[in-house]
Chain A
């Protein structure tokens, strides 16, 4: 699986790294039990600071996507439930996007069609591997 980091972006590198790995898990490219490179290896190849990679891994661990094992490094863990914090964030971000879509005169069906397409897109990306 490829990871892309945009050095010119406003999004912090650790956040980009976290997002890329979540994308990998969501699309199925990374499966439960798959191991990730060690912090040092990933920092070496991306050229970013070890602390940055560490921060991304710690974030993913707190969110329940990764397990960090002392001997085997980082591993994709069993999918965490979509509840609590995530539901709150989903609702907040969706409300804003729906409001903006309505403000731009996008109707309900078009909005939902876009949602469907992108949901399927993520799944088919994993299937291509």
Chain B
């Protein structure tokens, strides 16, 4: 378990590190959130600030890895959620602080030397590019094989929960990537140069590579869901871990590679152009957030990192931004509380009016005494796969499929000498209390009532 978490941990830190390193390289004349004319990109004073930023970013990356060993000691999922949220928030704030500090220095340098370029409030579009844009992406048909495979997967899954769930996840994933593809085809085409040929080439590069990236990732996603199914069918935990981790790494690698590839070829095209159009939008990007009421787009390309961010100048943008500022902590807090209640869970069993009642968080259950075919004690609960429920190093709770038994409900603390097994017509219930003595008492209670 810690191995997965450490992988996730290092990957997140790595993504933050890599996207800030990229922000320090010029893209469309923007270095570190500051628009500078092309001829000063290699100015020693600029290079020095960039160098300082990269060094500081590396130190933040190293510092963010320091708490990693703690992952070996945190056992409760609730504490883990708390730890991860605080840690990600800390990296996020540190990155923001770093960018603002160094871009502040850079824009001070810009003001001193009056390195102002382009018009700040002029929008330039190329009519030819706007017309041809919709033909630049690879065909929608690229998604057809993935969608067909995902649908077959889903249809074969009816009647079996795990298969159905993974099939639905496969279809949903393909739809998400298709949505990203649609966003790509609607990407705003700017005029980068007076030369229509160059504008066409720059826009085509971006739309084409991104559309290929999304179509490929849709296929990877479906393939991965099939691997997950094989892993779960064979109870191969290692394979399912490899499946999840490799999918995350492959997706991240694909996105970074596509981004880098597009960026370098755009820079090459524009460097050769005599008549490039420079737009200085720094005014709208103060503090690292885009706020431009003249622009009706809700989503705009980020300047730092990969992907898009909302335009705070629009009503929807404001709603999404402030909603997530309030919503994310609320969701994390709710998750924390749910896991806290699970962690401090006490499994209890009572018998009233010929009904056996099992009290547990979320997965409480009632069963009539007459349905119980047998009650016995076993000294281990065999392994199996979880359908839905919680499995931690301390307890297992919820619905499982247990080897040698089949469909089961588990209310067990692990490392107990014995467990109660109730046999129902098509279900087994495993139960244990926190101490062997209590478990023994519950067992006697059940036996007395069944006689």
Which residues of A are interface residues toward B (Cβ below 8 A)? 1-8, 24, 35-37, 41-49
Contacts and interface: CB of A to CB of B under 8 A. Distances in A.
A49 B296 contact: yes
B429 to A, nearest CB: 58
Contact of B124 (A4, A37, A48): A4
A3 B131 contact: no
A7 B186 contact: no
Contacts of B190: 45
A35 B132 CA distance: 11
Contact of B131 (A8, A36, A46): A36
A47 B123 CA distance: 9
Ranked 8 nearest A-B pairs via Cβ: A8-B121, A37-B130, A47-B295, A7-B294, A7-B121, A45-B125, A5-B123, A37-B131
Nearest to A34: B127
A75 to B, nearest CB: 12
Contact of A6 (B122, B130, B134): B122
Interface string B108-133: 00000000000111111111111101
B131 A41 contact: yes
24 contacts: A1-B127, A2-B125, A2-B194, A3-B125, A4-B124, A5-B124, A6-B119, A6-B122, A7-B121, A7-B122, A7-B294, A8-B120, A35-B131, A36-B127, A37-B127, A42-B125, A44-B130, A45-B188, A45-B189, A46-B123, A46-B125, A47-B294, A47-B296, A49-B296
B130 A4 contact: no
B297 interface: yes
Contacts of A43: 296
Contacts of B196: 1
Contacts of A49: 296
Contacts of B128: 1
Given A1-B196, A2-B191, A44-B130, 15 more contacts: A1-B127, A2-B194, A3-B124, A3-B126, A5-B123, A7-B122, A7-B123, A8-B120, A37-B131, A42-B127, A44-B186, A45-B133, A45-B188, A45-B189, A45-B190
Contact of A41 (B121, B134, B191): B134
A18 B124 CA distance: 15
Contacts of B296: 43, 47-49
A8 B283 CA distance: 13
Name which of A4, A6, A37 has the most chain B CB atoms within 10 A of its CB: A37
B127 A3 contact: yes
Contacts of A2: 124-127, 191, 194
A4 B122 contact: yes
Given A44-B188, A47-B296, A6 B125 contact: no
Nearest to B295: A47
Interface string B171-196: 00000000000000010111100101
A49 B297 CA distance: 9
Contacts of B119: 6
Contacts of A8: 120-121
A1 B196 CA distance: 7
A38 to B, nearest CB: 8
